[in-house]
Structure 1
Amino acid sequence: MTERMGVLSSDGRCLQPSPLAARAMLRPAARRLAAVGVGFAGGWAVLYGALMPFGLGLTLGLAEDCFAPCAAGAALGLLLHGLGALSLRSLCQLCALGAAVAARWLLPQRFVPAALAGCGTLTGMALCFALGSSGGADLLLYSAADALLAVSIGFGLRKFAPERPGMGTLLVGAAVAAALGSVRWGWFSPGVLACAAAELALCCRAQRFAALSGSAVLGAALCAADPALAPAAAGLGCATAAAAVLAPGRRVETLAAYAGGCVSGVLCVQPPGNAFGMLFSACGGMAVVCLLPGGWLAPAADISQSGENAPAPARSAAASTRLEAVAQSLSSLAETVNAVYEGLPRRREGFRWVIDNVHDTLCFNCGRRETCWKQEYTATMAGMEALRPLLEQNGSVETAQLPGQLSRCIHPAALCAAAGRSFALYRSRKEARIHSEAMRTALTEQYSAVAEALGVLSEQLGRPGDPEPYKSSRVAEFFTGLGAPPQECAVTLDDLGRTHAAVTLPRTRFTPQELAALAGEVGHICRRTLEVPQVLSCKGMTTLLFSERPALRAVFGAASAAARGEVSGDAVQQFCSPTAAQMILCDGMGTGRPAAVDGNLAAELTARLLKAGFTAELAARLVNVALALKSEDESGATLDLISVDLYTGTARLFKAGAAPGFLVHGGRVRAVGEATLPMGVLGGVNGQSRVVHLTAGDYAVLVSDGLLVDGAGWVAKQVELSAAAGDAPEKLAETLVETARIRAQKTGRPDDITAAVLRLEKSG
């Protein structure tokens, strides 16, 4: 049963469209609106009655899409905090915000220039005002302290994004707590209420470490904003400790523990009369938590212990171990079969076996046996050996064809019949032995190739990459919000720092537009540009594999001309896997339909094996076995393969019996490849591998031997000219094939002609 993203009625009609587009539009707006609010809190917050570092610090540290709204909110907070009165401190802060925003616009992703611009402007203006006023020393001192604190806050936010639980979130929370802590309406303190609600919510969700660290930082921010709130901070700290230790994750018990700890903490440091206002505000925070939906406070383990993320490396390690064990078992099985075969006694069955069988079946009961096989043994053996060419040529012997040494036989007709039967039996046994040996070779070759493939896969699973727990949880929350909670979700970084995400869902169908929207949303969460995901469906589950967009992209082109008729023995496969561009050219032996069967079989099977994760060498070994066992007739095909890593430009070439290929790098062309045997001829593959490096603008050209009818010189020149002109791969392939066809007609040596072209371009 499949689902579609969106709300469906009982009869399958779509009642409303997929929310992907709406979320894609609303999320950036929500982020910027939140940045305005955080910036306003940072501009409003004043520490110890003199320091104002949060506005500039948040502007320096927030992400590229949020720093400008944050600066606008901070400017508004600075202006409203002084009720419209523009002091020298506020003027310096506003100018510093403007300088930091300008620096971040001009030099994105650069922290040092923005920090120098903002903090330099702040201290420089304070110095200018200090030289012309009596209280300038205090202004310069406070501005320098603001600059130092702002740099620290901005640096912390750059290293620890506020979206990720940790220091970044605590810094933003401290700014909000400091802003709210400076506001008092009689007994009511909104800062105490907000801190109590946040800490209690974390305790209800069983996030004890986050709650304890939050209570410490938020309490410090409250005290810095208003020293009179120190008893409230102490009470909230005691309440959080009680709830986190005694009853984490149980809502009612957590509320009771938090309330008891809060009352005890406040009364220990403040008289009952003065503690009433603090407790009133804390009770307001607890009431807010009580009104929240139950789903928002569902217990959740810490990110580091998340069941969705933490077991992934363990599962990968277990799967890697099991695959390695299977690989070793298959390899041992192949070695055992070969060892047993080598240890068996060899049956040296030559033509002597035919002679012995004739003696045992005919001559053993004959009255002249003693005379023929003892007294005239030499003559009898010479006569029997003389039968060998006749039997090998005709398969039987006539009475008139018996040699003179056997003319004395008293049963000539029976002798001819016995010789024919014995030779037929000998030939069938020989063919069976050859066939069984071929089957054994094929079996052990398959076992060995699959064992090596499983070993490679085991090594890959053993290196799953560095997990990104926070991003994994964010991606899982995103899919849950779409109404498709994932069974598994993992975001990892590989050895080269590339981001990969795997999301397993119940069986779901996606349109191309939805897949593109998912790539954009997941990429926004992971802060990477991702390719459209690869969709794998199996056993009621759908897995989406996201990969970071590579630096290069491949453009393919191919052209072909049959030697006779419309059927060509050449076959081409061109496709892109998530990380590499693959191009395959197989040339079946001969021309016409038989060659087409071999060529297409080799190309199609190689492509499937490469998509499944097999290397070129292993794929060639399995294809070689398939061709050898395809039929009794001799089958063979060349294999010409190039695989280009689209992230690094590393190209791996593999040739088995294929014609030389051509590479264009830096505008210069060179031929690659040497003469080898095709697949399907021998028990093993006699192939060649080579590794080269390509960049954007380079070409790779694979050709069949029919295109080289007049040698490789003109092909190299044509490829170099076309590459210099920037011809499209399709045009270059057609030019090569058409020119080769004309040349072949002049020489009178027709053959199948094929050219496959790949060009690398920068990924846009």
Structure 2
Amino acid sequence: MATKERAGGRLLRFPRRDQVNVSRRAFLGLAEAGVGFLLGAVLAGAEIFGLYAPFGVAAVAAAGSGLSGFCTLAGTCLGYLCLEGLTDGMRYAASAILTYSVAFAFYDTKAYRRVWFMPAIAMLLCALTGIVTRGGQGWHGEDMVYFVTEVLFTGVAAYGYRVVFTQWPETLDGLHALSPRQTIGLLLLGSTLLMSLARVEILATFSLGRLVAAVGILWAARRGVTGGGLLGACAGVALDLASGEQPYYSLVFTLAGLLCGLCRDRRKGWAALVYVLACAVAVLWSWDGGRHMGLPLEALVGAILFLVLPLRLPQGASAAPMPAQNPDWEAGRQALSRKVEEMAGAFHTLYGSVKETLRPEDRNTENPAEIFTRAADKVCARCVLGDTCWQKEYQDTRAALNDATQPMLARGRALATDFSGTFSNRCVHFPEFLGEVNRQLTAFLRRRQALRRTFETRSALCSQYARLDKLLRTASAELAAGLTPDLPRQEKLEGFLRSMNLTGGVVYYDKEGHLRVEVPASEELKTRAARQELSEVLGTHLREGETAGDRLCFAQAEPFRALASLAGAPRQGEKVSGDTGLWFRREDGQLFLLLCDGMGSGPGAKQESAQAAKLLENFLRAGMAAQEAVETVSSALALRGEAGGSTTIDLLSVDLFTGKCAVHKQGAAPTYVRRDKRIQCAVGASLPAGIVTGEQAKPDVHRFRGAQGDWIVMVTDGILCGRDDQWIRDLLASYQGDSPSDLAQRILRQSQDLCQGEDDGTVLAVHLERSRDPLG
């Protein structure tokens, strides 16, 4: 109960000083309770198929166990008893009361904080009360379908409402800052409100729900075809479910919303006219004896309300919540964005100018006939038959040399048999001519190889300019967009800091949509207890804070975590292994694990692999995508020419928020993934980094979604030493432990028994699991 009392006390948090202030948070908390009461009362009247009304129970499940939850329960019970009659009203009121009781009883548990817990409880209690009240009437096929649909709607609505209820003040600042989940939750809430309002008739003619739908569709259509069509579809589906009829309103409102969206750049009157005409045409098109003749009149009244009411579109999002308040900071940020954009434009221009000069035919510009011309200048010039061969018998000489060209180019050396017998017998200096042809052929092939290398080097440099241009443009876009604020949590954070006599906290979302918190680097905030309390105040789990100057930065905790261990041994007779392995986590929740195997063994190979690994780490930490980072490093290593060596690259990236994994390979050994007892293998056919450039430098990429309990094993070539890999598959499949260090050591020992230290060998074992305690 101590936790509940402390949570309830946060509604009016008093600073630690003698003067008592009532903050805006207190007002918002009371307003939230009032809104909860009204929503509960209205949602209790929302029916599907004209029989079932589960949305009030869903609202109670989403509101939780605090003051707003109790007010939502009170409004819901009042709405059910007034709108649903005694039998059904008592049934749904009982479901709501039981749902609130479970929320209150389990408030202190970890299960309550799971997003699925309260929706699942609401579904279970709604199903149980439905079985008790309707079981005596018997279950028929249609009744069973409706009952199952009602239970599913309860859970879905509870989940969607929860997203909106936890951050409802954001809607006061417009819809620009809403995430996709919040947008879907808001559409679900609006649709169910329409179901309830559809039961209200004005002057026995107009349906309040359809009037509100008309105004909402016209407003959303000002954002374009997508906004109008989406809101029209949602409103139509809601009204069809409420009426229990065929999908009529879904088609009419979707069509009207799409057509109105085409008028987004015109005056509001055009959109209103198109909406009225679309509804009228749809009614006439699907004439059903005049049953829906009132719809055009409702559309006309709704269009008039849309024109009269001062409805405006939400403006674009502001920049970061705290720094954007400083005009100088904002101007500096925009100026820096423009500078980066100009720099990106310069590299793009450089890329274009270099690309224009890159023509593949330039690699082989010299004509092979020059080989014989140069040979003739040195041998045939002093021959007595020179005029005969090159003037009188020119056509025969040309034919003989043309026939010899392709075989000698393919072989890299000319033989006497490449020339016809007529030419070789007639040539009095044929041995000297053949030797000179071979000398000129060697020089020709060397020039061609140099041209090809020059072309490949210029192509690699050109691709580097393109990547740099893309990277700078991405950075410029991020600077221009700024940060996405979370205003409701900003209010909560300010109240929390005021209780500690601190100010200057910021709550925002990064470019991946993950929550980040910056607060003053106070010793009081660095404790685990303070982090846990801050997590509860903001309603999200936070990682341990990182100190940056005088600021303490918290990031949203990832639902996944990975345990990794590295084991390796050098080649027999060597003191240093040529392999390099490392792993690190980026601030956006991306975990990278890397193995590089330098060519050969010893210090030289170690230097190559360590250099490649360091370059990759720098690019990845800077925010570059994994595939672009691998391609960039591979091309850079190849530009060193014969002075440099080569190294394999085996990169595993894991998104600790979603579980998405990707393996990038360049000349690397297979990677093994175990799920349950099944073993999958990711192999590659690309060459090691530093050998080729351009398109040939692209790595092999394997993508999969990781799950709880997955094992991932990365190895270098020295572990397999060219032998069959069935032994490592069997060892991984039969492993019963939970220690990556133990698994890596077992694989290394068995490899040494089989290979006897023929090459450097390194193993990187990873165990993927769900975070046991995101606060820990």
Relative to the length of structure 1, the TM-score reads 0.50
